[in-house]
């Protein structure tokens, strides 16, 4: 997935989760920041559909491909 992230549109990336431990979210944020691709890293909470189907601890990285 790293090659896809490196070729993503650089405006922003989202870390979306359903109640992950803070340490996990921060580790993902540090990883994404270290890639040096994205101008903005936003954190959002997953909505009720994702949370109910995937459960607590689900985390996704959302970006737009070039």
Domain boundaries, the chain: 2-62
Domain 2-62 has CATH 3.30.565.10: no
- Tell me the mean pLDDT in the region 51-55: 93
Sheet containing 13-17: give its strands across.
Answer: 41-45, 13-17, 59-62
- Tell me the mean pLDDT in the region 44-53: 94
Residue 3: the pLDDT is 95
Q: Are 32 and 41 in contact (CB under 8 A)?
A: yes
In 3D space, the residue among 19, 9, 3 whose CA is nearest the CA of residue 62 turns out to be 9
Q: E-strand spans in 5-63?
A: 13-17, 41-45, 59-62
The reported pTM is 0.90
Percent of the chain whose predicted confidence (pLDDT) is above 70: 100
């Amino acid at each position: 997935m790293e090659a896809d992230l490196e070729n993503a549109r650089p405006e922003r990336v989202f870390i979306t989760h359903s109640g992950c431990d803070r340490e996990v979210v921060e580790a993902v944020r540090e990883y994404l920041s270290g890639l040096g691709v994205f101008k903005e890293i936003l954190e959002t909470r997953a909505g009720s559909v994702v949370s109910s189907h995937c459960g607590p601890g689900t985390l996704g990285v959302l970006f737009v491909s070039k």
